[in-house]
Amino acid sequence: MIIIEWLQAYGPSMIPTFNLTGDMFLAERLSIKFGKVSPGDIVLLRSPESPRKVMVKRLLGLESHSVTYVVDPMNSDRCDTIVVPKGHVWVEGDNIYNSRDSRQFGPVPYSLLEGKVFCKIWPPKEFGSLMKSGMKDPDL
């Protein structure tokens, strides 16, 4: 079993945490196995829409948490609230204007989580911990 691995993030969904051109980061897989994730963590997950695809998103809610989100940020500021069902999590990209996440496909089964991102390693000027950075709500 792989415990720690380095990966690369591409695309706009996690801007500004990750750059569009592809940042490298380290992720570990033990936290997921032992249920040691919490809101604000950046996680790896198997896409619920395309199982061959691994996504990087920010975890915003665990089962039984109430999550308020902007339904369609490009066209309105209408918000909705959901209580995350048992055995699921709520994930969103940091760039709500260009991210496919729980706002479109709903709560994600916990079993699709694969790892927790903990350190950006490239580009060198941005090297460092990613633990809880960029959280939407500092009270989480």
Residue type, 118: F
Give the active site residues.
Answer: 13, 57
Q: Is the dihedral of CA 13, 55, 51, 72 positive or negative?
A: negative
Residue 112 sits at φ, ψ, to 5 deg, of -85, -10
Beta-ladder partners of 76: none
User: Cα separation of 11 and 82, whole Å?
Assistant: 27
